[in-house]
Amino acid sequence: MGFPAVLLLLLGLIAAAEASGDHHDHTLHVSAPHASYSCPEGANVTLLCTDSGALAQPKDRVQHFWLYTPHGDQRCHDHSHPRGLKNPHGNRSVGVVYGTQEKTFFVTLLDLKQEDQGRYCCISLDLQPKDHHKASLQQTAHNHVLLTITPRRNDTRCSMFVPPSQSMFNSPTHTHTHFTFKHNNQILTAIFKKIW
């Protein structure tokens, strides 16, 4: 690979890094302690997400909600709540319970069925209070977890899988990515600083 080809490869990597992230000034982030859960039918599971970072203004409030799609490789869509609920606040009679505890928010699904398998998107909204019962959206943050349902068995415990480490192109914080390419006796080094 010649020096011009290495330079083009480097420029392509930098362009991919810039294109892969959201360029926002916000500092609210949502992380999922577990990337996926595997549970047998009939089990109960609590899917977790955690807020970090700061709100846009000190008096803002955070609203959490969960969306669902049965397709693990697709994004969640508005108004598609777990188990088809129209009310995003949960309904114990259909086995969906929402809650928060400090910076963690969760959805608990009771008596899992095969139809519960899919992608669950956890979303935080930073809302600035306005007039009575009105608010202005300041920023959003989201993440997702995958739920796989296995056949019923005697053991109703779920397995949880930790997300892979952050890739250099998908870090939610300030990053310095250092590329070094050696070709013959020439060393091409680029330092790329990315802020999202």
Distance set, CA 105 to CA 19, 55, 71, 97 (Å)? 30, 16, 22, 11
* Whole-number Å distance between alpha carbons of 176 and 29: 19
State the residue range of the domain holding 137.
28-167
Average pLDDT over residues 42-46: 97
Q: What is the pTM of this model?
A: 0.69
How many domains, the chain?
A: 1
**Neighbour-count burial of 5, counting CB atoms closer than 10 A to its CB (0-12 exposed, 13-18 middle, 19+ buried):** exposed
Tens-place pLDDT, residues 102-134: 899 999 999 999 999 999 999 999 999 988 788
Tens-place pLDDT, residues 150-161: 999 898 899 999
Average pLDDT over residues 1-7: 40
**Neighbour-count burial of 24, counting CB atoms closer than 10 A to its CB (0-12 exposed, 13-18 middle, 19+ buried):** exposed
CATH of the domain at 64: 2.60.40.10
User: For residue 142, is it within any domain?
Assistant: yes
Structure tokens belonging to residue 132: 């009575």
User: For residue 128, is it within any domain?
Assistant: yes
User: For residue 108, is it within any domain?
Assistant: yes
Residue with tokens 């000034």: 25
User: For residue 177, is it within any domain?
Assistant: no
CA 30, 33, 39, 42: dihedral to nearest 10 degrees? -60
Type of residue at 58: P
